[in-house]
Amino acid sequence: MFEQIIISGFGGQGALFAGQLLTYAGLEEDREVAWLPSYGPEMRGGTARCTVTVSDEPIGSPITDTPSAVIALNPPSLEMFEPRVLPGGLLIVNSSIAKEEVKRKDIRSLRIPATDMARDEFANERMANMILLGALVSMTRVVTLDSVMTALQKNLPQRRHHLLEPNRIALQKGWDIAQQASKD
């Protein structure tokens, strides 16, 4: 297995955190992993993205121009990364913010109104990243959802442990949405 995943959005949407969590989940499964963050000069509101590589073999480079999967949290991310997804790859879009439809027909895509769901169900828009990460894990099986939860418990600072259960619910919600979409 060799997956290179880009998670991209505005600063403050949790793209880097979701990528770190996916990386830690890979470590939980004794996989080779790499996490490469990239962000613009502004922290909140600027561009933030990361590339996560999860592999059964040593990783030659954490850099990719052609990811096997992308989570696009905002319109610029959708515009930038849709053309780069490998044919047969996966594109998950936060349709609450990125309203444009996916144009490519040679990739799998899933549009989830994650920001709206996070606001409505958790009163916290910042849970959108966990909904989308749950969907990605469901559709790629790059790691297990249990590994993501274990990684979250081990790496979330103690002062944020009150968010463990909402994060677990958000991850499961994304997983369930992706499972339902695969049946339809």
Q: Which pLDDT does position 70 carry in this prediction? A: 98
Segments in the chain forming alpha helices (H): 15-28, 75-81, 114-122, 128-140, 145-155, 164-183
Question: What is the span of the domain harbouring residue 15?
Answer: 2-183
Region 42-51: mean pLDDT is 77
Tens of pLDDT along 120-142? 999 999 999 999 999 999 999 99
CATH number at residue 92: 3.40.920.10
Tens of pLDDT along 12-38? 899 999 999 999 999 999 999 999 999
Q: Which pLDDT does position 120 carry in this prediction? A: 96
Tens of pLDDT along 62-113? 999 999 999 999 999 999 999 999 999 999 999 999 999 999 999 999 999 9
Domain count, the chain: 1
The secondary structure of the chain in percent helix, strand, coil, rounded to multiples of 5, reads: 45, 20, 30
Query: Which amino acid appears at position 49 of this protein?
Result: R
User: Which residue is it, tokens 């369930």?
Assistant: 176
Q: Report the predicted TM-score, pTM, of the whole model to 2 decimal places.
A: 0.94
* Whether pLDDT at 44 is above 70: no
